[in-house]
Amino acid sequence: MTKLKTLDLNFNKLTGEIPSSFVGVSKADYMNFTRNMLTRAMPDWMLKRGDNYDLSFNNFTKFYSMRINCGGKEVIVDGNTKYEDDTDSGGPSKFYQSRTNWAFSSTGHFMDNDRPTDSFIGTNMSRFTMENSGLYTTARLSALSLTFYGFCLENGNYTVKLHFAEITFTDDKTYSSLGRRLFDVYVQHELVLKDFNIEDEAGGVGKEIIKFFTAVVTNNALEIRFYWAGKGTTGIPVRGIYGPLISAVSVDPDFLPPSRNGSSSISVSIVVGIVAGVILLIFLVISILWWRGCLRRKYTLEQDLKGLDQQTDLFTLRQIKAATNNFDANNKIGEVGFGSVYKLYGCCIEGNQLLLIYEYMENNSLTHALFGPKECQLQLDWPTRHRICVGIARGLAYLHEESRLKIVHRDIKATNVLLDKNLNPKISDFGLAKLDEEDNTHISTRIAGTLFGIVALEIVSGRRNTTYRPKEECIHLLDWLISTTFFLAYVVS
């Protein structure tokens, strides 16, 4: 049977253990023992094969963890966590199987000749101060490759904890401190650590470092391999100061093992999914109740706003609709960048209806008074025009200098100057305004609309800033002012 390539014995109701006589078929590419009634442990020769076999759906005793104190005696840490002993002397070509569910294999001779025999268990040369120091008193060594196997594990995700501490050379300035150990680490055939240096990672000799990895077990077997790739020292300071070193191995499931009554295990991911689903369902129910108004405090926003120190009148939405004839467009003064302005002033706070009502300007805007339809234009004398210019200037001076919050309007134009019944100007539309913070010297005061000077010229001349004439180009007021020599005479007339 030495030339056998595939051995398929599934669904044969085989019982007992796999006999050692099957070692003759160990060179087969694949062996299938699924869905039988096999028990006890796997033979050594099968463990050495790696994962070219399938033993699922048998009666092997299932394990859900393994903890090994590599190279040392049994140790109990944290009060009740037991790490099994691993005191086998090892060797350059050694396979060892424990009494439970793990084994290790070691290969390779150390290359130097400073010692008559190789030692594959390292012992501490320093004084430890870390917790659980019993795990770091000894360590298992190998010249080339060191592999730990876990078998009869329930399939699923596991957390692998690898404990390291460099204990084979010192941490002083002597010759004994010159060792440098580098090796690679594989978990389930996947490279997880490249050129791993225990001393550098731990911050010195005699200090522990723990590495965590996630391993997926699919065929009831786990493999953790430490491999020397030829880097680091070999004979400095003494023989064997290179190659893999591991202090302890711990493997724990990421799922809940079955209880003693035999109930099946529940994956942690399933538990997390169930909890997340319940939380999402509760959130959806609360959202629906809130949307329907069952949980909403309808009066909160309205009361908060009404509780402010109001310096304006409050109106109901019904009053506003009655006063504006249900927001009739005929009652609208004009449209500005921030919204429409109607014939009242104050505010309205009712539920989601938040309205600002501005003072009614009987004479509309300055644009309407100067450039509107002829029947709507106002005949403004010089004192009135002067008063309007001064009023705008005073308003800007207040915004720039006298207000507690300095404001740059950035959009002064005739459209944004409203006139009351006495033709007093009021600056409106602060949609482009910005705060002029004294400490904020980089504030942009770039003019977004027109200048006060242009507005003053419009008031004095009675001409628009920009005028279009048929068969002529667009004429700007400032250009017209510069080009004409009769401006003063025009104004006087």
Catalytic machinery residues: 411
> Residue 60 has which token pair?
């092997």
**3-class SS letters over the chain:** CCCCCEEECCCCCCEECCCHHHHHHCCCCEEECCCCEECCCCCHHHHCCCCCEECCCCCCCCECCEEEEECCCCEEECCCEEEEEECCCCCCEEEEECCCCEEEEEECCCCCCCCCCCCCEEECCCCCCCCCHHHCCEEEECCCEEEEEEECECCEEEEEEEEEECCCCCCCCCHHHCCCECEEEEECCEEEEEEECHHHHHCCCCCEEEEEEEEEECCCEEEEEEECCCCECCCCCCCCCCCCEECEEEEEECEECCCCCCCCCEEHHHHHHHHHHHHHHHHHHHHHHHHCCCCCCCCHHHHHHHCCCCCCCECCHHHHHHHCCCCCHHHCCEEECCEEECCCCEEEEECCEEEEECCCCCCCEHHHHHHCCCCCCCCCCHHHHHHHHHHHHHHHHHHHHHCCCCEECCCCCHHHEEECCCCCEEECCCCCCEECCCCCCCCCCCCCCCCHHHHHHHHHHCCCCEECCCCCCCEEHHHHHHHCCCHHHHHHC
Rounded to 5 degrees, φ, ψ at 189 are: 70, 10
C-alpha to C-alpha distance for 170 and 343, rounded to whole angstroms = 91
Apex 232 CA angle, 231 and 234, nearest 5: 105
Phi-psi map region of 321: left, alpha, beta (phi>0 left; psi -120 to 50 alpha) = alpha
> Residue 200 has which token pair?
């550098």
The sign of the torsion formed by the CA atoms of 83, 85, 89, 90 equals: negative
Peptide bond between residue 237 and the one before it cis (omega within 30 degrees of 0) = yes
C-alpha to C-alpha distance for 246 and 148, rounded to whole angstroms = 10
